[in-house]
Structure 1
Amino acid sequence: MPSETPDPQSGGAALELLVHGVGGATPQKMLDDPRTVRITGDETAAVYRRRDDAEAERHPERHAGRPVPEAYCWSNLTSGNGSRALWLLLLPFMVVNLAHWMRPATKGLAKSQRLYGVLVRLVALTLTVLLTAAACEVALDLTAWQCAGSADCVAERSWLGFLSPAGHGWWSQPGRRLALASLVPTALVGLLWYLSNRTWSAYEAQRPPTDTPSASASASASADDPTTATATATATATATATAAADGRPAPGEGPVR
């Protein structure tokens, strides 16, 4: 009979991720310890550990018999003021972003990979133009040109009275009405930029740590042994070339956005 396949050994400490429900919970309660430290994240969402387990990666031998519990607290993601509802404007663009990151790995098809990226960016640009064009249709055409130029329409909407030609005001000229209404799509594009930039800086602009124990050990070994340094450089170059051919990020690099 064939022998059983042994369990893979990672050499590091095993982790146990604890996630609370919609009711929320504190990391002290989830970890059953009043002494907790934040490993990563911020005030909105973060991962916590017990203080005694904070250095588990550097000393895996201390946790050989049990996993290291980590508490993920995300309750602040669902709380805040009403302006958070504006993030729904980014929902169509989120789908396009998802399509980009769902691109399958390619090997030896660099042109197809670049073509896929160009097509996804064109779809994102089309969505932006479509949303802006819809705002222009409502603000410039329906409101500033048609409704503001009609006495009957203005009579039913007093807030457009300063745009009516019957009032002979400064804004009653068609060109000035359109210029004023153009602020609406401009503000919409600015709002999209603000929301996406805020989302990027708060949740996505995180790069993986590079100062790891394995990297430090490799650097020390390379400094002591030139042969090891040459072998390490060759292996790194090979891994980078393989990752580039497969369309994946190179080792040690974060995702390029």
Structure 2
Amino acid sequence: MSPEPAIPLSGGVALELLVHGVGGTTPQEMLDDARTVRITGDNTAAVYRRAADADAEQHPERYLDRPIPEAYSWANLTSGNSSRALWLLLLPFMVVNLAHWMRPATQGLPRSRRLYGVWVRLVALTLTVLLTAAACEVALDLTVWQCAGSAACTAHHSWLGFLSPGQHGWWAQPGRRLALAAVVPAGLVTLLWYLSNRTWSAYESQRPPTTGAQDEPPPGAEDVRPGDEAADDAPAADDARPRTPPIRPALGRPGFWYG
């Protein structure tokens, strides 16, 4: 008689992810079950399971021959107020984030891993500076310095009349005009910070729930991928310590999105 397969203590169950299309299929229809529970997420976007599979991580022996179906419902992401359109400003920075997570495994090459991280951060910083410089070019140079300083241009753009030197107003001096126009790039950077901080606080900063402190990853190991070496300052795991299956959503397991 062949021995029974070993049951992993954590992360051993397989996942079948179901994602609906633009029609907005409900989680009950995707899972073919009227009784569903929300595993993670909120009213905007969430992951659901059948009620019978809610505690699957605690009983991995039940799912040795079949995956756990989970339904990702994102229908409400396409509805809401007009402020959601501002998130398009973060689209170029999302590409930089993807570049970080698409890094290939660097087993035995810790310097290459650090160099790649520094390179990605420099690209993100360059992108921020480029966007800010473009705002400065339009607001400070083209609008305030060139157009507002020309009587012919302000004659066709009456809203710049108070900046025209011909009006002899308080804002007509070049230094004051430039200081006023500097509000535009400063406001753009503030808006980017607000949008990214709001997104981070609502989604990315959330940690998957665990049953206890023994399931938390060691310090410095958050960015270590399968095939990578552990961080230099990460303490060695205590294999003799008893472990219990963690209660965490499958989509929130460390390493799930590494491919």
TM-score (norm 1): 0.74
- Offset from partner CA, 1:140-170 (integer Å, 9 cap, x none): 1111111001110000001111111111211
CA distance 1:77–1:8, change in 2 (3 Å): farther
SS of structure 1 residue aligned to 2:57: coil
2-structure distance, mates of 1:243, 1:191: 33
Of residues 34-43 and 6-15 in structure 1, the stretch that sits farther from structure 2 once superposed is 6-15
Displacement of 1:115 in angstroms is 2.0
- Offset from partner CA, 1:197-238 (integer Å, 9 cap, x none): 1222223223233327xx58xxxxxxxxxxxxxxxxxxx9xx
Matched residue, 1:221: none
Matched residue, 1:107: 107
Matched residue, 2:136: 136
Matched residue, 2:198: 198
Q: Is the 8 A contact 1:47 1:73 kept in 2?
A: yes
CA distance 1:8–1:244, change in 2 (3 Å): closer
Percent identity over paired residues: 75
Q: Is the 8 A contact 2:105 2:226 kept in 1?
A: no
Matched residue, 1:152: 152
AA aligned to 1:74 is: W
Matched residue, 1:246: 228
Displacement of 1:65 in angstroms is 7.0
AA aligned to 1:171 is: W
2-structure distance, mates of 1:106, 1:69: 32
1:119-134 alignment runs, 5 A limit: 119-134=119-134
2-structure distance, mates of 1:130, 1:169: 33
Q: Is the 8 A contact 1:135 1:184 kept in 2?
A: yes
Displacement of 1:36 in angstroms is 2.1
**Aligned CA-pair RMSD:** 3.4
Displacement of 1:64 in angstroms is 6.4
Q: Is the 8 A contact 1:16 1:70 kept in 2?
A: yes
Displacement of 1:73 in angstroms is 0.8
If asked which structure has higher relative contact order (CA below 8 Å, sep 6+), I would say 2
Matched residue, 2:162: 162
Q: Which has the higher helix share?
A: 1
1-structure distance, mates of 2:227, 2:77: 38
Q: Bigger radius of gyration, 1 or 2?
A: 1
Matched residue, 2:30: 30
Note the residue ranges of structure 2 that are not aligned, 5 or more in a row: 238-245, 247-252
SS of structure 1 residue aligned to 2:58: coil
**Pairs aligned (count):** 227
Of residues 177-186 and 194-203 in structure 1, the stretch that sits farther from structure 2 once superposed is 194-203
Q: Is the 8 A contact 1:110 1:245 kept in 2?
A: no
Matched residue, 1:71: 71
- Pair 1:117 & 2:117 matched: yes
CA distance 1:9–1:43, change in 2 (3 Å): farther
AA aligned to 1:179 is: A
